[in-house]
Chain A
């Protein structure tokens, strides 16, 4: 029925998402500000940023749920502003909130989705997905009766049913236990190995580290876009750890020292980071004489908190 060609118009382009200057306003509030981003084919692209930073709005603009106020770009080679109807059949979108029908069973939900995409051999495809995603024992349960983790799996099953070339997953693992999260990510990596591109927004650092590349967005602005290693390296942050007793007092003392950007407690150690290594060493020498201290790798979390603070100041 659907005559939409299944080859993309620009199959040679290495970029599945290629947008520039994308802007969205709600009234006077700029939610996404002049955002440019490129995502390569087969990449798992992590999308991070504080709550309300415009991640969801950006993802919605990519799949035609919202119209951009300014900017241009392509998604799978089609213009996001004029060809949303061509993009939709090739995108699997999973919204932040569970958005399948709670009063339909697992099987009915998948069947409905398959019908909307006009898939051939619907029954076979749905049955295969149910088995593949381990949903067999729930197939006749109402979707509303599933636990969070299983709902997530069902949603992933539904949004991959039509073999999309691009997955847009908006905080797919929020509120899901670590085991289910790991399974979920294993599944995403399997799909990526098969050539599917995925853009995933998340708040979890361990998930961010499982992405090929990352973008960090805050208050509508794109602050950084790189690999995990690149982000850490380019942040210019240096981190030292210090351990010993009475870390609380030490933490308070360090926080007010010049050059100390962040002090974070991890059990019996403190991670102290800042842009100027000499200043940190000096601060530690002054406040933490006699304690064991050493230089460690800066983590993503410190990089992001650093980015967010800088964005807030400007």
Chain B
């Protein structure tokens, strides 16, 4: 049934089978595929911290008074918070937090100023998306100081004296999604993306370069096998490797770091396919550009490093300058991190996760297209 220029499953299967045999014989690569995930888990699983500012904040204010306005203004000038606006309902607040549109929701109850003036202790509620505790801890620590200054400036006479000694406000912090502020909860699911990105890109970047360096590409090109069959045949075995790594990390999350798994693992497995494919496409494409295996590894580091630094894994995404956020948004890891954290920590559903997956899919299509074009020219 196959047309002359067509794709033959049998030839594709031949390449897959061959890759598996070679994978089994190549002990070092095999060790790398299992060893790197474990090593990174243990090493990175511990300390990464930073102090981001300008975190998007929405205010749910039921008390229209100079005091509440003063607090909001104080938060804005502190640069820790970027007050994006006021919202009207509890439901909107929950949605903003869950979708990641806001890092904080500040709730000022309607009796706030009345209680304050009477010398009672009013309540301020700050809900934080604490999936990444590093991203929120600085702001939370600063809030008490911000509020006490704002109040002290606006309060009349005796109440001000009182405020100067001890803050007459009960600030309640609700760290949502990661109430104990355990850094590992954020780091470990994030590591899933980092590990997949590093190992899959590097291993596949070697795949075609190795064929060329050892001279076997010449033989391959002289046979009827087509570029697409070779590319997919080389990628497929590593998709399996990617899934083994995901399973490994999820097991470690559960049993080594006690990360609560709120969302569906099925969603993680299903959508991770797109991310795995995107990384493999980078590897294959790099290997059509690289002249030898060393270059291939170097190039994959060039791809991996920005991914590691600008995706929001190393430093909270919102803490980065604008240009870095733009570059970060182009990288599949950035979106994948949001996806994995969303599903595992916030219970994001498969459908909601689409918002994170389509940029990765787009990335895959563009990169694999470049790879296909490059492959044709390899011997010329």
Q: Which A residues, 71 to 126, have Cβ-Cβ distances below 8 Å to chain B?
A: 85-86, 88-89, 91, 93, 95, 97-104, 108, 112-113, 115-118
User: B17 contacts A115, CB within 8 Å?
Assistant: yes
- B17, B218, B220, B224: the one contacting A2 at CB < 8 Å is B224
Q: Is A60 an interface residue, CB under 8 A from the partner?
A: yes
User: A112 contacts B14, CB within 8 Å?
Assistant: yes
* Interface pick from A10-18, A61-69, A279-287: A61-69
Collect the chain A residues with CB atoms within 8 Å of residue B95's CB. Answer: none
Shortest beta-carbon distance from A54 to chain B in Å? 15
- A66, A67, A100, A115: the one contacting B13 at CB < 8 Å is A115
Shortest beta-carbon distance from B163 to chain A in Å? 75
Q: Is B266 an interface residue, CB under 8 A from the partner?
A: no
Q: Are A101 and B22 also in contact (CB < 8 A) when A116-B14, A118-B11 are?
A: yes
Contact with B along A108-147 (1 / 0, CB 8 A): 1000110111100000000000000000000000100000
User: A66 contacts B380, CB within 8 Å?
Assistant: yes
Shortest beta-carbon distance from A89 to chain B in Å? 5
Collect the chain A residues with CB atoms within 8 Å of residue B15's CB. Answer: 116
- B10, B21, B223, B380: the one contacting A113 at CB < 8 Å is B223
Chain A, residue nearest B14 (CB): A115
Chain B, residue nearest A93 (CB): B222
Q: Which B residues lie at the A interface, using CB under 8 A?
A: 1-5, 8-11, 13-15, 17-18, 21-22, 25-26, 214-226, 379-380
- A1, A60, A86, A118: the one contacting B379 at CB < 8 Å is A60
Collect the chain A residues with CB atoms within 8 Å of residue B1's CB. Answer: 1, 3
User: A117 contacts B26, CB within 8 Å?
Assistant: no
Collect the chain B residues with CB atoms within 8 Å of residue A108's CB. Answer: 18, 21
Shortest beta-carbon distance from B25 to chain A in Å? 5
Collect the chain B residues with CB atoms within 8 Å of residue A95's CB. Answer: 215, 218-219, 222
The 8 closest A-B pairs by CB, nearest first: A115-B14, A99-B219, A93-B222, A97-B215, A116-B223, A99-B215, A95-B218, A103-B25
Q: Are A3 and B3 also in contact (CB < 8 A) when A66-B380, A89-B224, A118-B224 are?
A: yes
Q: Is A4 an interface residue, CB under 8 A from the partner?
A: yes
Shortest beta-carbon distance from B22 to chain A in Å? 5
Collect the chain A residues with CB atoms within 8 Å of residue B9's CB. Answer: 1
Interface residues on A, range: 20 to 34
- A1, A116, A158: the one contacting B225 at CB < 8 Å is A116
Collect the chain B residues with CB atoms within 8 Å of residue A85's CB. Answer: 4-5, 224, 226
Collect the chain A residues with CB atoms within 8 Å of residue B217's CB. Answer: 99
A-B contact pairs, 27 of them (CB 8 A): A1-B2, A1-B9, A2-B8, A4-B4, A64-B222, A65-B221, A66-B380, A85-B224, A85-B226, A86-B4, A88-B224, A91-B222, A93-B219, A98-B215, A99-B217, A99-B219, A101-B18, A104-B21, A104-B22, A108-B21, A112-B17, A115-B10, A116-B14, A116-B220, A117-B223, A118-B10, A158-B219
A93 to B218, CA, bound (A): 9
